[in-house]
Structure 1
Amino acid sequence: MRTAGKVDREHEAILKHYLDGTGDEMAQESIAAAGNTEVPAYLALIELGYSVDRIDKDGEERWIAKKGTLQLMADCPLELLGLSLLRSERGPRWQASDSEIAEFLTRFHPSAGRP
């Protein structure tokens, strides 16, 4: 699992391209998961009606968002916001079906399961 502020190599290359002036900054808006997205994610959760708490147990940080009977748990507010969107868009049966998982693996991990 990625930690907040850590960007993988592909995203790092894209960011460098735009930050060093070699990119077409007018082409599109880009937001990268980084430290500056944590507070806006928290604020969005509050606006969506969630209560948000941070728990530090045995040196391990966890974030919890609650709304009605729904409780979301994650490593950071940005992940909580993603979970809230997942639940909002897919509903109580948010889990992926076997065919959806297979399609995902074929597209993003084509060598998975092959000898």
Structure 2
Amino acid sequence: MEVLTGLSDPHDAARKLHEWGVKEVLVTLGSMGSLIFDGSAFHRIPAYKPRQVIDATGCGDTYTIGYLYQRASGKDIEASGRFAAAMSTLKIEKSGPFSGSKEEVIQCMHTAQEMY
């Protein structure tokens, strides 16, 4: 985000991107979860603890796809963020692209431990 905005603080960078016209700014923070800024509030989304870390490549992409899928399905920001976080958790536990099912994502949301 700093490369785009010149700002190192994720909150400030998200505000700047929103000023530039991004309606919902997603900031992934690895094991610290994620932030979603909608112009009026920051939504703090926890990360779920993976059973094992195999391959983190593509976790941000997986998060984004999960979030967009849920928002397009009519879910709110918090629910979409939690779904996306669970997708990322399942992705990091395996090598290669995300290959889980919606049911596995929902199960992860109910059974995985939040990391903070």
Same fold? TM cut 0.5: no
TM-score range, shorter chain: under 0.3
Which structure shows the higher helix fraction?
2
Higher relative contact order (CA 8 A, sep 6+): 2
Q: Which has the larger radius of gyration?
A: 1
TM-score (norm 2): 0.24
Higher strand share: 1
